[in-house]
Amino acid sequence: MKKNLFAAIFASIFMFSATANAAVDAAKAEEFVQKVTKEGIEEIINANVSQSVKDERFEKLFNNALDLNFIGQFVLGRYWRTATAEQKKEFISAYRELNIKTWSQRFDEFKGKNFIFKGTTPSNSANQVFVNSVVPMDQGEPAKVVWRVKQTGDNFKIVDIIIENVSLAITARNEYTAYIKTAPGGIDDLIKDLQNKTKKA
Amino acid sequence: MRGIYSIFAACSLIALTTASCANPNDRTSSMPADEHPTLEAYNRKMFEFNYQVDKYILKPTAKGYRAITTPYIRERVNNALANIKEPISAFNHLLQGEIKESGINLSRLVINSTLGLAGMYDVAGGWGLKPSKAGFDETLAKWCIKDGPFIVLPLLGPATPRSTVGLAVDSLTNPVYLATLNAPADVKDKIYYGYSAVSVIALRESALDLLDDLERNSVDYYTTMRSAFLQNRQNQNCINGDENISYDFDFGFEEEDQIFDEMNN
């Protein structure tokens, strides 16, 4: 009897700590991504407002939904550690601007499209989970879009978007670290280049 | 179970003739590895050559094709081209032990070639027989043949040794090639080159916006292409490999940089 009681207590403690470690609420993460995409489609892509209003709304949604500081740190790879505080700030802001500009120009491509959510997959990284979705295309097979979501307390942020297995974070990291490696001015050159691209876009 | 045996048999057959079957446990990091400097120097040169060919020949042709056609017409063309390739998918699904998928490819071929007017309309898709493409490259991946390094082929573009073998076998099993095997040489050439030209232009047209976007936004177009190409190929999993998702790289920091606290204020 005593043994059983001990086992029960042990089990409950163990289970409690297991759930505490998991720390990411997959169902809520999926709900979060659904909310973000719904807002994007209804309030921006399909909304009957001018492009400048759309841009404004998108910038707000983008800043609320994505953790650009976190992504930016990953994207710079080992160069993050050697960058000065000023460079870090400037890089994050240049990266943010370019992304917002790029995505804003793609609204029309997304007209009439919709996300169908397909549940979640656990991640090896702490407090993160993958939310799976597909986008039916006019032609051929549907496109696979996976959202990597990070939970901090009750707060959810998207930290990567994986389209047909291509992670935006990995692609940017490969590209930017390769660039810095050969650029004479290092990170400063990269920041300037990103700013120029934003202006031209 | 039967599927496993056929895979095993095929794997050992391939092992005798080409590379060895990869050990499923040696899946390395999910991120595209650093490139060997010599290979990178060659690849970048070839990439630049292809880029110029594309810029002055292929891309203008694809744009011209887009200008003189409507989306409706292009969809008919793409459907017809995809229909021609159904037997390739059926063949490869069979090699991968996916009998049902193979049957779906054949059903699609029969239905769409007739009721779908030479494949221009996807009638079968509307009946629930959804398209399911497969090529020999994917078959080799299922057989656990290693991919090899990234190489840029003249004119054909980004590739790996395995994708190159896949492409070659797909060409040899293409119905257009097989149907014209016994035709007189000049007729054969006309048909095959004509078919290839239409395929390439249609393919380039469908990628116009995507590639323009990619190029416009990247500071190192070659690295971006290489990274995206290699990542995209990671969905081809070995039959007895683990189910690790390729993009689940370690994405966490012990402590977030304190600069973020300043920035958020």
SS3 string of chain B? CHHHHHHHHHHHHHHHHCCCECCHHHCCCCCCCCCCHHHHHHHHHHHHHHHHHHHHHHHHHHHHHHHHCCHHHHHHHHHHHHHHCHHHHHHHHHHCCCHHHHHHHHHHHHHHHHCCCCCCCCHHHHCCCCCCCCCHHHHHHHCCECCCCCEEECCCEEECHHHHHHHHHHHHCCHHHHHCCCCCHHHHHHHHHHHHHHHHHHHHHHCHHHHHHHHHHCCCHHHHHHHHHHHHHHHCCCCCCCCCCCCCCCCCCCCCCCHHHHHHC
**Most B CBs within 10 Å, among A68, A159, A166, A191, to test the B interface:** A166
Instruction: Please report the pLDDT score of residue B8 as a whole number.
Output: 41
Q: Could you give the ipTM of this predicted complex?
A: 0.78
Sheet containing A143-152: give its strands across. A116-122, A128-135, A143-152, A155-163, A166-167
**Chain B residues in contact with A103 (beta carbon < 8 A):** none
Q: What is the mean pLDDT of residues B114-143?
A: 91
Q: What's the mean pLDDT in B250-256? A: 62
> Mind telling me how many Å the CA of A124 is from chain B's nearest CA?
7
Q: Which residue of B has its CA nearest to A197?
A: B217
Mean pLDDT over A128-133 rounds to 94
Residue of A80, A141, A193 lying closest to B219 (CB–CB): A193
Are the Cβ atoms of A123 and B231 closer than 8 angstroms? no
Residue range B36-55: average pLDDT? Answer: 94
Contact A179/B248, CB-based, under 8 Å? no
Predicted confidence band at B242 (pLDDT cuts at 50, 70, 90)? low
pLDDT digits (tens, 9 = 90+) for A141-186: 788 999 999 998 889 999 999 998 899 999 999 999 999 998 899 8
Chain A nearest-CA distance from B13, in A, is: 30
Q: Which residues pair with A146 in a beta bridge?
A: A132, A162
Residue B7: which pLDDT band, with cuts at 50, 70 and 90?
very low
pLDDT at position B173: 94
Report the pLDDT value the prediction gives residue B164, as an integer from 0 to 100: 96
Give the model confidence (pLDDT) of A83-113 as tens digits: 999 999 999 999 999 999 888 888 887 888 8
